[in-house]
Structure 1
Amino acid sequence: MLSILIVDDDPHIRELLRFYLHKEGYRTVEAGDGQEALDVLEETQCHLAIVDVMMPHVDGYELCKEIRTDYDIPVLMLTAKGEMADKEKGFIAGTDDYVVKPFEPKEVLFRVQALLRRYQMVNEQAIHVGQTTINRKSYEVESNGKTLILPLKEFELLAQLASYPEQIFSREQLLELVWGRDYEGSDRTIDVHIKRLRERFANEGSGFEIETVRGLGYKLTMHGRS
Structure 2
Amino acid sequence: MSQAHILIVDDEPGIAEIIGAYLERDGFEASWLSTGAAVLPWLATVQPDLILLDLMLPEVDGMTLCRTIRTTSSVPIIMVTARVDEIDRLLGLELGADDYICKPFSPREVVARIKAVLRRQAPTATAAPPDQGFVIDPETMIASVKGVRIDLTPTEFKLLAVLATHPGKVYSRAQLLDHLSDGYKDVFDRSIDSHIKNLRRKLAAAAPGVELVQSVYGVGYRFERSDLA
Please tell me the TM-score bracket, short chain as reference: 0.5 to 0.7
In 2: Cα distance, 1:48 partner to 1:175 partner: 16
1:47, distance to aligned residue in structure 2 (A): 0.5
Secondary structure of 1:51's match? strand
- Pairs within 5 Å for 1:209-224: none
Alpha-carbon distance between aligned partners in 2 of 1:47 and 1:174, rounded to the nearest angstrom: 21
Quick one: which amino acid aligns to residue 117 of structure 1?
A: R
Partner of 1:71 in structure 2?
73
Query: 1:110, CA displacement in angstroms?
Result: 1.2
Alignment of 1:31 with 2:33, yes or no, is yes
Could you tell me how far apart the structure 1 residues matched to 2:29 and 2:180 are? 28
SS at match of 1:62: helix
Runs of 4+ in 1 over 6 A off after TM superposition: none
Q: Summarize the Cα distance change of 1:82–1:179 in structure 2 as closer, same or farther, 3 Å threshold.
A: closer
Out of 36, 40, 62, the position equivalent to 1:60 is 62
Give the fraction of aligned pairs with identical amino acids, expressed as a percent. Answer: 37
In structure 2, distance between residues paired with 1:100 and 1:179 = 13
Query: Normalising by the residue count of structure 1, what TM-score does the alignment of the two structures yield?
Result: 0.54
Q: Deviations over 1:167-189 (max 9, x none)?
A: xxxxxx999425873569xxxxx
1:116, distance to aligned residue in structure 2 (A): 0.4
Distance 2:40 2:180 in 1: 33
What RMSD in Å do the two structures reach over aligned CA positions?
2.7
Q: Gaps (5+ residues) in structure 2?
A: 124-138, 140-177, 191-229
Mapped partners of 2:49, 2:68: distance in 1: 15
CA contact (8 A) 2:120 2:180 kept: no
Find out whether 1:177 has 2:189 as its counterpart. Answer: no
What corresponds to 2:97 in structure 1? 95
Greater C-alpha Rg? 1
What residue identity is the alignment partner of 1:22?
E
Residues 1:83 and 1:182: Cα distance change in structure 2 (over 3 Å)? closer
Asked if 1:116 is matched to 2:118, the reply is yes
- After TM superposition, the structure 1 = structure 2 runs for residues 141-180 of structure 1, keeping only pairs within 5 Å, are 176-178=181-183
Alignment of 1:42-61 (within 5 A): 42-61=44-63
CA distance in 2, matches of 1:97, 1:21: 17
Amino acid at match of 2:101: V
**Aligned equivalents of 2:180 and 2:63: distance in 1?**
27
Provide the TM-score with structure 2 as the length reference. 0.54
Which residue number in structure 1 is paired with residue 106 of structure 2? 104
Structure 1 pair 111–179 and aligned structure 2 pair: CA distance change class (3 A): closer
How many residues get paired? 135
